[in-house]
Each structure stands twice: as structure tokens, then as C-alpha cells.
């Protein structure tokens, strides 16, 4: 069954899908993106993801490539044509194709839109959550607008590669004060000895994760308290639990930070209960 991608108005074979060499996404990373989880045939939290896409576009003064009403239909169609029941759908919008020049292209230049989808194995995710993941820490070296979900991800690429080379699955960025900002592709959380969730406020220095937002709803439902405040690497290493959140990992337990075990080195029960309750609480759009 060949994979299908949506590229600027056309559904094409994934293997042949391409954009112009002077697309500003390719030349300047002048674009934004979203990743939605697909679970049990539903696109998870799609309105929240498309709301954040709208914000990213407007912060960068990139026009919508299609109307806001049409994009959900394209996402659904790409998921459907690829027969994805569990997996993800990826949306990328760039400022379009223009002769290479730093300043914005002429008004009316059409933004580029690419949508792809791919399958994932839910059993592998369950297994990973049972084992937990390891993280390393790296110095924060990104610009101060990481609240925009830009395709400019070079620091994230390097951090996650470093994690992989250290046999870890995620890298946590740490600011100049020793405080954790977020992961290379996830938000960072700990659980205190009192069972309180702690995660960094989203005003500055992190991406406001959609999974993070929905986990606030999950925590409220489970009666788990959340404190939005910064936490240090030292506090995380001594925490009862630690975990990451993202659309593709949901709440994923951390069992080691920089080689030191978190608590007894096993996934924590609060993290697993949040993970368990997530799908019921999240908004589900039929694909
Ligand atoms: N922070 C960064 C840097 C990310 O790349 C991601 C994943 N897109 C997240 C946080 C988590 O965001 P979400 O829950 O919306 O996937």
C-alpha cells in the first residue's frame, strides 16, 4: 500500500512528493509545523494543535495556506488515505517559494503546505512506558522564541543526537540558572514527594505543549495538584517521579537523568495514571 502525501493542493505518492529548491522552509527554516497523534482512528486534540498553528503563523506573519476550515479535512484525508489508525499526522507550512533573499517575499507569495501521516506501533509505546526512558541534560542554546513551533530545530537535532549517543531517548535543555526548560521534542515534568506535578510556566522559554495543556485537564480529573514553576536538575534527580510529554509520547516516565536513577529507577505510578487517563480526556476527532 503506497504512502500518500499532500503537497500544495495535490495528493501524491509519498516517494515522489517534493517541494521547490527555493522553498523558504528549505533555505531558511522559514516555516512552522504541528504533529498530532492518531490513536484508535481518532486525531487527538486537533483543534488545540491547529489553534497553536494559527498562533505560530501569526507570530511570524505567514499567511494561512488554505482556509482554517479546510485544513482539518486535509488532515483527515491524509490519515485516511494512508490507513493510519495509530500513528501521527504532520503538518508543515512555510513562507513559500521565492528567489533567495532574507526579507519576506512579495505579498501574494503562496505559503507551502505539506501534510504527511505515518503509522506507529501502539505495542512499542506501551513497552517503552513500562520500561521508562533515560534523559541527559544539555545547556540551553536556543533563541528566546521557542514558543513558536518553528521548523528551525538545529539545537534540538544536536541535543537529541547527543542523547542517542549516550543511550538516552531525550535531552533536557538547562538554562543558565540550572533550571530545566524542556526536552528536545517534549515538555519536562517532575512529581514531588507530596505527589504534586511540577512543570515550567509556558510564558517564556518553552513551547506550550498541547499534551502539556491536556495533561492539566487530566490532572484536574484525577485530583492531582499542579504547580507551574521552574525546577532544577538537582530537584529532578531527587524527585519521586519525572516524565516527558508530547503528542507522540503522551506522558512517558523517565527512569534516569544523566545516568542517575530517578527514585527506584522504575516508572512512577502518577505518570502512569496520567498516561492511562489521557485518551479519555483528550478531544478526539474521527479521522
Ligand atoms: N517542546 C518541544 C521543543 C517540542 O518539539 C514538542 C513536541 N512537538 C513539545 C514541547 C511537546 O508539544 P506537544 O505536546 O504539543 O507535542
With a pLDDT cut of 70, the percent of the chain lying above it is 100
Whether pLDDT at 76 is above 80: yes
Q: List pLDDT tens digits, range 258-281.
A: 999 999 999 999 999 999 999 999
> Is residue 164 annotated as a catalytic residue, yes or no?
no
Q: Tell whether ligand 1 has an atom less than 6 A from the beta carbon of residue 187.
A: yes
Looking at domain 125-286, its CATH class is alpha beta
Whether pLDDT at 204 is above 90: no
Looking at domain 4-120, its CATH class is alpha beta
Q: List pLDDT tens digits, range 218-264.
A: 999 999 999 999 999 999 999 999 999 999 999 999 999 999 999 99
Rounded to the nearest angstrom, the distance between the alpha carbon of 139 and the centre of ligand 1 is 18
Distance CA 46, CA 218 (A): 17
CATH 3.30.470.10 domain extents, the chain: 4-120
Run of H or E residues at 280 = helix 269-281
Run of H or E residues at 57 = helix 46-59
Model's pTM, two decimal places?
0.98
Q: List pLDDT tens digits, range 126-175.
A: 999 999 999 999 999 999 999 999 999 999 999 999 999 999 999 999 99
In a 13 Å sphere around the CA of 256, the CA atoms on its Cβ side amount to: 13
- Nearest-5° Cα angle at 133, 128 to 139: 150
Residues 6+ apart with CB under 8 A from 203: none
pLDDT bin (cut points 50, 70, 90) of residue 203 is confident
Amino acid at each position: 500500500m503506497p504512502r500518500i502525501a499532500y503537497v500544495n493542493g495535490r495528493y501524491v505518492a509519498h516517494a515522489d512528493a517534493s517541494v521547490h529548491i527555493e522553498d523558504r522552509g528549505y533555505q531558511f527554516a522559514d516555516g512552522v509545523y504541528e504533529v498530532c497523534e492518531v490513536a484508535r482512528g481518532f486525531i487527538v486534540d486537533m483543534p488545540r494543535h491547529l489553534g497553536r498553528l494559527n498562533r505560530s503563523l501569526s507570530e511570524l506573519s505567514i499567511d494561512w495556506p488554505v482556509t482554517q476550515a479546510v485544513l482539518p479535512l486535509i488532515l483527515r484525508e491524509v490519515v485516511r488515505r494512508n490507513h493510519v489508525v495509530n500513528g501521527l499526522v504532520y503538518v508543515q507550512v512555510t513562507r513559500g517559494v521565492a528567489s533567495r533573499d532574507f526579507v519576506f517575499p512579495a505579498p501574494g507569495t503562496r505559503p507551502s503546505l505539506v501534510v504527511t501521516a505515518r503509522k506507529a506501533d501502539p505495542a512499542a509505546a506501551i513497552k517503552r512506558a513500562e520500561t521508562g526512558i533515560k534523559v541527559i541534560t544539555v545547556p540551553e542554546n536556543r533563541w528566546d522564541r521557542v514558543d513558536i513551533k518553528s521548523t528551525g530545530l538545529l539545537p534540538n537535532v544536536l541535543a537529541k543526537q547527543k542523547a542517542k549517543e549516550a543511550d538516552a531517548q531525550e535531552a533536557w535543555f538547562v538554562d543558565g540558572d540550572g533550571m530545566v526548560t524542556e526536552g528536545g521534542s517534549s515538555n519536562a515534568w517532575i512529581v514531588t514527594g507530596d505527589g504534586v506535578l511540577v512543570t515550567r510556566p509556558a510564558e517564556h522559554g518553552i513551547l506550550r505543549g498541547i499534551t502539556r495543556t491536556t495533561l492539566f485537564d487530566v490532572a484536574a480529573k484525577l485530583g492531582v495538584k499542579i504547580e507551574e514553576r521552574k525546577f532544577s536538575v538537582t530537584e529532578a534527580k531527587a524527585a519521586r517521579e519525572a516524565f516527558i510529554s508530547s503528542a507522540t509520547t503522551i506522558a512517558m516516565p523517565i527512569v534516569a537523568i544523566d545516568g542517575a536513577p530517578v527514585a527506584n529507577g522504575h516508572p512512577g505510578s502518577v505518570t502512569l495514571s496520567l498516561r492511562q487517563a489521557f485518551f479519555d480526556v483528550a478531544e478526539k476527532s474521527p479521522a
